[in-house]
Structure 1
Amino acid sequence: MFSKIMVPVDLAHQAKLSRSLDCAAELARHFDIPVIYAGVTGTAPGPTGHTPEEYTRNLAEFAAAQAVRSGISTGYHTIISHDPRVELDACLLRATEELEADLIVMEAHVPNVLDHLLPSDGGTIAKLAKATVMVVRN
Protein backbone atom coordinates (compact mmCIF):
# COMPACT_ATOMS: atom_id res chain seq x y z
CA MET A 1 0.00 0.00 0.00
CA PHE A 2 2.76 2.47 0.96
CA SER A 3 6.44 2.32 0.03
CA LYS A 4 8.15 5.08 2.06
CA ILE A 5 7.23 7.24 5.04
CA MET A 6 8.57 10.75 5.56
CA VAL A 7 8.43 12.16 9.08
CA PRO A 8 9.20 15.87 9.50
CA VAL A 9 11.17 16.37 12.72
CA ASP A 10 12.23 19.39 14.71
CA LEU A 11 15.32 18.27 16.60
CA ALA A 12 14.85 21.11 19.08
CA HIS A 13 11.52 19.59 20.18
CA GLN A 14 12.20 15.84 20.12
CA ALA A 15 10.26 15.27 23.35
CA LYS A 16 7.08 16.51 21.67
CA LEU A 17 7.35 14.07 18.74
CA SER A 18 6.76 10.77 20.52
CA ARG A 19 3.26 10.11 19.18
CA SER A 20 4.16 10.70 15.53
CA LEU A 21 7.44 8.77 15.87
CA ASP A 22 5.64 5.80 17.41
CA CYS A 23 2.88 5.95 14.79
CA ALA A 24 5.38 6.08 11.91
CA ALA A 25 7.37 3.19 13.39
CA GLU A 26 4.23 1.07 13.75
CA LEU A 27 3.24 1.76 10.14
CA ALA A 28 6.79 1.03 8.94
CA ARG A 29 6.76 -2.34 10.68
CA HIS A 30 3.28 -3.13 9.36
CA PHE A 31 4.11 -2.33 5.73
CA ASP A 32 7.82 -3.30 6.00
CA ILE A 33 8.96 0.06 4.62
CA PRO A 34 11.58 2.66 5.61
CA VAL A 35 11.02 5.88 7.52
CA ILE A 36 12.93 8.96 6.37
CA TYR A 37 13.24 11.73 8.98
CA ALA A 38 13.26 15.12 7.27
CA GLY A 39 14.60 18.17 9.06
CA VAL A 40 14.74 21.77 7.95
CA THR A 41 17.59 23.99 9.12
CA GLY A 42 19.04 27.37 8.31
CA THR A 43 22.63 28.37 7.71
CA ALA A 44 22.85 30.37 10.96
CA PRO A 45 23.93 28.63 14.18
CA GLY A 46 21.05 27.26 16.21
CA PRO A 47 20.28 24.93 19.09
CA THR A 48 20.33 21.85 16.84
CA GLY A 49 23.61 22.61 15.08
CA HIS A 50 26.09 25.40 14.55
CA THR A 51 26.39 24.58 10.85
CA PRO A 52 24.25 22.68 8.34
CA GLU A 53 26.87 19.90 8.49
CA GLU A 54 26.56 19.61 12.27
CA TYR A 55 22.76 19.62 11.96
CA THR A 56 23.00 16.81 9.41
CA ARG A 57 25.18 14.75 11.79
CA ASN A 58 22.63 15.30 14.57
CA LEU A 59 19.77 14.29 12.28
CA ALA A 60 21.69 11.17 11.20
CA GLU A 61 22.24 10.24 14.86
CA PHE A 62 18.54 10.80 15.55
CA ALA A 63 17.56 8.51 12.65
CA ALA A 64 20.00 5.82 13.77
CA ALA A 65 18.64 5.98 17.32
CA GLN A 66 15.08 5.61 16.02
CA ALA A 67 16.11 2.55 14.01
CA VAL A 68 17.52 0.90 17.12
CA ARG A 69 14.63 1.98 19.36
CA SER A 70 11.89 0.88 16.97
CA GLY A 71 13.52 -1.92 14.99
CA ILE A 72 12.84 -0.27 11.62
CA SER A 73 14.81 0.83 8.59
CA THR A 74 15.46 4.58 8.73
CA GLY A 75 17.13 7.34 6.80
CA TYR A 76 17.42 11.09 7.04
CA HIS A 77 17.08 14.07 4.74
CA THR A 78 18.41 17.51 5.61
CA ILE A 79 16.80 20.53 3.99
CA ILE A 80 18.72 23.81 4.14
CA SER A 81 16.60 26.94 3.98
CA HIS A 82 17.35 30.65 4.15
CA ASP A 83 14.37 31.12 6.49
CA PRO A 84 13.16 27.78 7.87
CA ARG A 85 10.09 29.19 9.63
CA VAL A 86 8.78 30.93 6.50
CA GLU A 87 9.80 28.24 4.00
CA LEU A 88 9.03 25.16 6.14
CA ASP A 89 5.91 23.97 4.33
CA ALA A 90 7.36 24.48 0.84
CA CYS A 91 10.59 22.72 1.87
CA LEU A 92 8.70 19.72 3.25
CA LEU A 93 6.50 19.47 0.16
CA ARG A 94 9.60 19.51 -2.07
CA ALA A 95 11.28 16.88 0.11
CA THR A 96 8.25 14.62 -0.21
CA GLU A 97 8.62 14.71 -3.99
CA GLU A 98 12.43 14.30 -3.89
CA LEU A 99 12.21 11.33 -1.54
CA GLU A 100 9.24 9.81 -3.40
CA ALA A 101 7.50 9.38 -0.06
CA ASP A 102 3.88 8.33 -0.38
CA LEU A 103 3.00 8.75 3.31
CA ILE A 104 3.80 11.67 5.59
CA VAL A 105 3.34 11.27 9.34
CA MET A 106 3.67 14.51 11.26
CA GLU A 107 3.04 15.75 14.77
CA ALA A 108 0.58 18.59 15.37
CA HIS A 109 -0.54 20.57 18.35
CA VAL A 110 -4.07 20.67 19.65
CA PRO A 111 -5.88 23.47 17.75
CA ASN A 112 -6.16 26.82 19.46
CA VAL A 113 -7.33 30.35 18.72
CA LEU A 114 -4.07 31.22 16.91
CA ASP A 115 -4.94 28.65 14.24
CA HIS A 116 -7.71 30.97 13.05
CA LEU A 117 -5.07 33.56 12.18
CA LEU A 118 -2.14 31.49 11.00
CA PRO A 119 -2.36 28.24 9.03
CA SER A 120 -0.95 25.15 10.72
CA ASP A 121 1.93 23.31 9.08
CA GLY A 122 0.05 20.01 9.27
CA GLY A 123 -3.03 21.52 7.66
CA THR A 124 -1.03 23.12 4.87
CA ILE A 125 0.90 19.93 4.14
CA ALA A 126 -2.30 17.85 4.19
CA LYS A 127 -3.95 20.26 1.79
CA LEU A 128 -1.08 20.51 -0.71
CA ALA A 129 0.86 17.24 -0.60
CA LYS A 130 0.37 14.59 -3.25
CA ALA A 131 1.18 11.95 -0.63
CA THR A 132 -1.19 10.68 2.02
CA VAL A 133 -0.78 12.73 5.21
CA MET A 134 -1.42 11.54 8.73
CA VAL A 135 -1.47 14.38 11.25
CA VAL A 136 -0.97 13.02 14.76
CA ARG A 137 -2.20 15.24 17.57
CA ASN A 138 0.05 15.59 20.58
Structure 2
Amino acid sequence: MYKKIIVPVDLAHASRLQKVLQTAADLGRHYNASVCYVGVISSLPGSVARSPSEFAEKLGEFASMQGKENGIATSSHAVTSHDPAVDLDQALLAAIADTGADLVVMASHIPNVTDYIWPSNGGTIASRSSASVFVVRGA
Protein backbone atom coordinates (compact mmCIF):
# COMPACT_ATOMS: atom_id res chain seq x y z
CA MET A 1 0.00 0.00 0.00
CA TYR A 2 2.73 2.50 0.98
CA LYS A 3 6.08 2.62 -0.78
CA LYS A 4 7.90 5.61 0.72
CA ILE A 5 7.48 6.87 4.28
CA ILE A 6 9.08 10.08 5.49
CA VAL A 7 9.70 10.90 9.13
CA PRO A 8 10.57 14.48 10.10
CA VAL A 9 13.25 14.35 12.80
CA ASP A 10 15.03 16.87 14.96
CA LEU A 11 18.41 15.33 15.69
CA ALA A 12 18.80 17.57 18.74
CA HIS A 13 15.84 15.75 20.30
CA ALA A 14 16.15 12.29 18.72
CA SER A 15 16.03 10.59 22.13
CA ARG A 16 12.47 11.92 22.60
CA LEU A 17 11.26 10.52 19.27
CA GLN A 18 11.31 6.81 20.08
CA LYS A 19 7.55 6.34 19.70
CA VAL A 20 7.39 7.96 16.27
CA LEU A 21 10.57 6.22 15.10
CA GLN A 22 9.23 2.83 16.18
CA THR A 23 5.86 3.51 14.53
CA ALA A 24 7.56 4.41 11.24
CA ALA A 25 9.82 1.34 11.41
CA ASP A 26 6.85 -0.93 12.11
CA LEU A 27 4.91 0.53 9.17
CA GLY A 28 7.98 0.26 6.95
CA ARG A 29 8.33 -3.43 7.76
CA HIS A 30 4.61 -4.10 7.42
CA TYR A 31 4.33 -2.47 3.99
CA ASN A 32 7.88 -3.28 2.86
CA ALA A 33 8.31 0.47 2.38
CA SER A 34 11.50 2.48 2.61
CA VAL A 35 11.71 5.07 5.38
CA CYS A 36 13.31 8.45 4.72
CA TYR A 37 14.30 10.62 7.68
CA VAL A 38 13.91 14.32 6.90
CA GLY A 39 15.70 17.05 8.81
CA VAL A 40 15.43 20.81 8.37
CA ILE A 41 18.38 22.95 9.42
CA SER A 42 19.56 26.52 9.18
CA SER A 43 22.71 27.33 7.24
CA LEU A 44 24.09 28.82 10.46
CA PRO A 45 26.09 26.69 12.91
CA GLY A 46 23.88 25.00 15.50
CA SER A 47 23.97 22.53 18.35
CA VAL A 48 23.77 19.50 16.03
CA ALA A 49 26.11 20.57 13.23
CA ARG A 50 28.32 23.44 12.15
CA SER A 51 27.22 23.34 8.51
CA PRO A 52 24.47 21.93 6.30
CA SER A 53 26.90 19.34 4.88
CA GLU A 54 27.83 18.14 8.37
CA PHE A 55 24.13 17.97 9.24
CA ALA A 56 23.38 15.94 6.10
CA GLU A 57 26.15 13.52 7.05
CA LYS A 58 24.81 13.12 10.61
CA LEU A 59 21.27 12.66 9.31
CA GLY A 60 22.54 9.98 6.93
CA GLU A 61 24.29 8.19 9.79
CA PHE A 62 21.08 8.40 11.84
CA ALA A 63 19.06 6.90 8.97
CA SER A 64 21.60 4.12 8.50
CA MET A 65 21.52 3.30 12.21
CA GLN A 66 17.70 3.19 12.18
CA GLY A 67 17.78 0.84 9.20
CA LYS A 68 20.20 -1.55 10.89
CA GLU A 69 18.34 -1.50 14.22
CA ASN A 70 14.93 -2.07 12.64
CA GLY A 71 15.69 -4.17 9.56
CA ILE A 72 14.27 -1.65 7.11
CA ALA A 73 15.48 0.20 4.03
CA THR A 74 16.28 3.80 4.96
CA SER A 75 17.51 7.04 3.47
CA SER A 76 17.83 10.65 4.57
CA HIS A 77 16.87 14.00 3.11
CA ALA A 78 18.37 17.17 4.60
CA VAL A 79 16.75 20.53 3.87
CA THR A 80 18.49 23.85 4.48
CA SER A 81 16.24 26.77 5.42
CA HIS A 82 16.86 30.40 6.34
CA ASP A 83 14.59 30.01 9.38
CA PRO A 84 13.52 26.42 10.09
CA ALA A 85 10.99 27.48 12.73
CA VAL A 86 9.14 29.64 10.20
CA ASP A 87 9.75 27.55 7.08
CA LEU A 88 9.21 24.08 8.56
CA ASP A 89 5.83 23.33 7.00
CA GLN A 90 6.91 24.48 3.53
CA ALA A 91 10.20 22.59 3.83
CA LEU A 92 8.37 19.39 4.80
CA LEU A 93 5.86 19.78 1.97
CA ALA A 94 8.74 20.22 -0.47
CA ALA A 95 10.49 17.15 0.99
CA ILE A 96 7.33 15.09 0.48
CA ALA A 97 7.26 16.11 -3.17
CA ASP A 98 11.03 15.70 -3.65
CA THR A 99 11.12 12.20 -2.18
CA GLY A 100 7.85 10.96 -3.68
CA ALA A 101 6.61 9.98 -0.22
CA ASP A 102 3.10 8.62 0.09
CA LEU A 103 3.03 8.51 3.92
CA VAL A 104 4.33 10.92 6.54
CA VAL A 105 4.77 9.67 10.10
CA MET A 106 5.37 12.57 12.44
CA ALA A 107 5.32 13.46 16.10
CA SER A 108 2.81 15.87 17.56
CA HIS A 109 2.25 17.71 20.76
CA ILE A 110 -0.70 17.66 23.12
CA PRO A 111 -3.28 20.08 21.66
CA ASN A 112 -3.82 23.34 23.45
CA VAL A 113 -5.65 26.63 22.98
CA THR A 114 -3.09 28.03 20.52
CA ASP A 115 -4.06 25.28 18.04
CA TYR A 116 -7.29 27.22 17.47
CA ILE A 117 -5.23 30.19 16.29
CA TRP A 118 -2.18 28.54 14.69
CA PRO A 119 -2.47 25.10 13.17
CA SER A 120 -0.05 22.38 14.20
CA ASN A 121 2.65 21.21 11.81
CA GLY A 122 0.86 17.87 11.45
CA GLY A 123 -2.44 19.60 10.70
CA THR A 124 -0.85 21.81 8.08
CA ILE A 125 0.94 18.90 6.40
CA ALA A 126 -2.24 16.79 6.42
CA SER A 127 -4.32 19.56 4.87
CA ARG A 128 -1.80 20.57 2.17
CA SER A 129 -0.11 17.33 1.17
CA SER A 130 -1.25 14.59 -1.16
CA ALA A 131 0.48 12.06 1.13
CA SER A 132 -1.32 10.39 4.01
CA VAL A 133 -0.24 11.67 7.42
CA PHE A 134 0.04 9.58 10.58
CA VAL A 135 0.42 11.86 13.61
CA VAL A 136 1.88 10.14 16.67
CA ARG A 137 0.90 11.68 20.00
CA GLY A 138 3.21 11.66 22.95
CA ALA A 139 6.24 11.07 20.79
TM-score range, shorter chain: over 0.9
Aligned equivalent of 1:11: 11
| 1:84 to partner: Cα distance | 0.7
TM-score, normalization: structure 1? 0.96
Aligned equivalent of 1:114: 114
Q: For 2:7 and 2:135, locate their aligned partners in 1 and report how far apart those are by CA, in whole Å.
A: 10
Can you list the C-alpha shifts for 1:27-63, whole angstroms capped at 9, x where unaligned? 1101111100000001001111110011111101110
Q: For 1:31 and 1:115, locate their aligned partners in 2 and report how far apart those are by CA, in whole Å.
A: 32
Can you list the C-alpha shifts for 1:39-92, whole angstroms capped at 9, x where unaligned? 000100111111001111110111011011111110000001111111100010
| 1:116 to partner: Cα distance | 2.7
Q: For 2:45 and 2:116, locate their aligned partners in 1 and report how far apart those are by CA, in whole Å.
A: 32
Structure 1 spans left out of the alignment, 5+ residues: none
Aligned equivalent of 1:73: 73
| 1:6 to partner: Cα distance | 0.6
Stretches of 4+ moved more than 3 A in 1? none
Aligned equivalent of 2:42: 42
TM-score, normalization: structure 2? 0.95
| Aligned pairs (5 A) from 1:1-138 | 1-138=1-138
| 1:110 to partner: Cα distance | 1.1
Q: For 1:15 and 1:137, locate their aligned partners in 2 and report how far apart those are by CA, in whole Å.
A: 15
* 2:113 aligned partner, one-letter code: V
Identity %: 48
Q: For 2:96 and 2:127, locate their aligned partners in 1 and report how far apart those are by CA, in whole Å.
A: 14
Structure 2 spans left out of the alignment, 5+ residues: none
| 1:19 to partner: Cα distance | 1.1
Which is further off, 106-115 or 30-39?
106-115
2:17 alignment partner, SS class:
helix
How many residues in Structure 1 have an aligned counterpart in Structure 2?
138
| 1:13 to partner: Cα distance | 1.0
1:57 alignment partner, SS class:
helix
Q: For 1:98 and 1:53, locate their aligned partners in 2 and report how far apart those are by CA, in whole Å.
A: 18
Q: For 1:9 and 1:92, locate their aligned partners in 2 and report how far apart those are by CA, in whole Å.
A: 11
